């Protein structure tokens, strides 16, 4: 009886902490987003006396020549391109590292772990992008996102590929498959669960990225959704109703993606961890 009460008590405590940490801020954000400017400036957790949802929504969209629409397009292109490259490149690198044992494997493993441990350096990265003519360009930021996310994706793919029998590779080679055909026709379809995990995790991360676009893609024409938060803040005043409405709008796409694919994320993570 005591053990059961303790177990249920811990469960209720976890639910309460989750509610306070995640649900309460979400409710506060929604309530502030539908208030007028005067009432939202109080930053109170209260029911709005005057709903201004439609007015705030229209003002956020029209701000600075519909900058939010341009930002959504830029963020979508950035996310789709970066995640596509990450999935293909990380899966191929992980397959080679897992299947071929050479004296360079230790160096490759060290570099992959370094990508997870060593923090990115902004100034040298800007210098490299400038020397390549890619600074302040969307392709340059795509390369930055791919470089920063590659190590994590390789480790996920490599753990899962370790569970695939080598006999499949050997059978495909006997049937006449070359390396490229072997990977895309035999190995890649088997990585479905971990591919979904990488797509969802990296899409949410890149779409919500604030730091990299701020440093490597400055300019209003290149703005991503996170940078539109500056539209409603100044040195002396902040339109909290518009700011929170903007946050609400840019939070909806990754939130919906996570709701639909959360089981696939867990499945991909645990499959790679257990089978690897």
pLDDT in tens, 166-188: 888 888 888 888 888 889 988 99
DSSP states along 101-133: --TTHHHHHHHHHHHHHSPPPHHHHHHHHHHHT
Specify the pLDDT at position 252. Answer: 86
Residue 254 sits at φ, ψ, to 5 deg, of -65, -30
User: Residue 268: what pLDDT?
Assistant: 58
Q: Is the pLDDT of residue 276 over 70?
A: no
What is the average pLDDT score of the chain? 86
Residue 266 has pLDDT above 70, yes or no: no
Q: In the chain, what percentage of residues exceed pLDDT 90?
A: 34
Q: Check residue 63 and give its pLDDT.
A: 86
Task: Tell me the three state secondary structure of residue 152.
Answer: helix
- Which tokens belong to 40? 């939202």
pLDDT in tens, 44-83: 888 888 888 899 999 998 888 888 889 999 999 999 999 9
Q: State yes or no: pLDDT of 270 exceeds 80.
A: no
Four-residue CA torsion sign, 140, 142, 148, 153: negative
pLDDT-based confidence at 233, cuts 50/70/90? confident
**pLDDT-based confidence at residue 129 (cuts at 50, 70, 90):** very high
pLDDT confidence bin for 274, thresholds 50/70/90: very low
> Which domains are delineated in the chain?
65-275 (1.10.3720.10)
In 3D space, the residue among 86, 89, 125, 83 whose CA is nearest the CA of residue 217 turns out to be: 125
Query: Could you read off the pLDDT of 3-41 as tens digits, one per residue?
Result: 666 777 777 888 888 888 888 888 999 999 999 888 888
CA distances, 132 to each of 58, 127, 141, 146, 218 (Å): 40, 9, 12, 16, 17
Query: How many Cβ atoms are within 10 Å of 46's Cβ, its own excluded?
Result: 12
Residue 127 has pLDDT above 60, yes or no: yes
pLDDT value of residue 176: 83
- State the pLDDT at residue 141: 94
């Amino acid at each position: 009886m005591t053990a059961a009460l303790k177990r249920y008590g811990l469960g209720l405590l976890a639910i309460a902490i989750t509610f306070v940490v995640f649900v309460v801020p979400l409710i506060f954000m929604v309530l502030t987003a539908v208030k007028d400017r005067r009432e939202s400036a109080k930053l109170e957790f209260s029911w709005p006396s005057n709903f201004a949802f439609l007015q705030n929504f229209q003002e956020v969209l029209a701000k600075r020549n519909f900058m939010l629409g341009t930002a959504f397009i830029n963020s979508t292109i950035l996310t789709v391109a970066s995640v596509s490259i990450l999935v293909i490149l990380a899966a191929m690198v992980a397959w080679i590292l897992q299947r071929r044992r050479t004296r360079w494997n230790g160096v490759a493993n060290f570099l992959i772990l370094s990508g997870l441990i060593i923090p990115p350096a902004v100034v040298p990265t800007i210098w490299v992008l400038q020397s390549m003519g890619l600074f302040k360009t969307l392709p340059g930021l795509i390369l930055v996102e791919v470089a920063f996310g590659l190590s994590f994706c390789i480790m996920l793919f490599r753990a899962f590929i370790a569970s695939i029998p080598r006999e499949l590779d050997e059978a495909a080679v006997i049937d006449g498959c070359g390396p490229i055909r072997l990977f895309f026709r035999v190995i890649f379809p088997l990585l479905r669960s971990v591919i979904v995990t990488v797509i969802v995790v990296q899409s949410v991360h890149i779409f919500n990225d604030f730091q990299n676009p701020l440093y490597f893609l400055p300019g209003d024409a290149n703005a991503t959704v996170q940078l539109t938060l500056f539209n409603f803040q100044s040195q002396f005043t902040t339109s909290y109703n518009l700011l929170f409405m903007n946050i609400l709008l840019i939070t909806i796409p990754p939130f919906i993606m996570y709701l639909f694919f959360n089981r696939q994320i867990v499945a991909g993570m645990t499959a790679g961890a257990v089978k690897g």
